[in-house]
């Protein structure tokens, strides 16, 4: 009877456990990582940025969302829903980020952001102002040093 070394017996199961924790390595090379963009239907221009950098893995942090018209006027009293996650892994954020308040005209506080691993994350915003609804999606690459620009 042939005995497999102990390392061979545990290597495959261990690899299955570690792979999801290692982040993503197949991020598209031409991924748009801009932090300002027009919404899908071009109703609003939206900018996002973390309030502290570097953004650390497994720590809560806050972001700022700026919403304005394409002409540059601040968009006040917007309702913003937040979603997102890791497109390559098929899971959402490990916390429940949400917009908590409008801190100045057209500038909103996004709290409860958390990245649980390195890799490609997307941040999806649904913005409602009156009868107008539009969406913006931001791609964020997180590595051990924080957000990669």
Taking the whole predicted model, whether its pTM rises above 0.85 is answered as no
Task: Tell me what pLDDT residue 13 has.
Answer: 45
Judge whether 100 and 52 are in contact, CB under 8 Å.
no
Spell out where the chain has E strands. Answer: 36-38, 45-50, 61-68, 79-86, 91-92, 98-104, 107-113, 119-129, 132-143, 146-148
Judge whether 110 and 63 are in contact, CB under 8 Å.
yes
Task: Tell me what pLDDT residue 30 has.
Answer: 79
Tallying the residues shown for the chain, one arrives at 149
Domains of the chain: 6-148 (2.60.40.1930)
Task: Tell me what pLDDT residue 2 has.
Answer: 53
List C-alpha distances in Å: 79 to 95, 127, 142: 20, 6, 27
No. of helices (H) and no. of strands (E), the chain: 1, 10
Return averaged pLDDT per consecutive 10 residues of the chain, 149 residues in all: 50 43 61 96 98 93 98 98 94 96 98 96 97 97 86
């Amino acid at each position: 009877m042939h005995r497999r070394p102990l390392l061979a017996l545990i290597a495959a199961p261990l690899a299955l456990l570690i792979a999801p924790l290692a982040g993503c390595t197949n991020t598209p090379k031409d991924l748009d990582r801009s932090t300002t963009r027009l919404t899908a239907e071009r109703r609003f221009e939206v900018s996002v940025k973390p309030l502290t950098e570097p953004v650390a893995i497994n720590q809560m942090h806050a972001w700022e969302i700026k919403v304005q018209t394409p002409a540059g006027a601040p968009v006040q009293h917007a309702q913003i829903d937040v979603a997102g996650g890791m497109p390559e892994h098929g899971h959402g954020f490990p916390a429940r980020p949400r917009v908590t308040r409008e801190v100045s005209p057209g500038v909103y506080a996004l709290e409860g952001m958390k990245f649980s691993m390195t890799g490609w994350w997307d941040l999806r915003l649904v913005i409602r102002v009156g009868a107008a609804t539009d969406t913006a999606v931001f791609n964020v690459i997180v590595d051990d040093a924080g957000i990669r620009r």
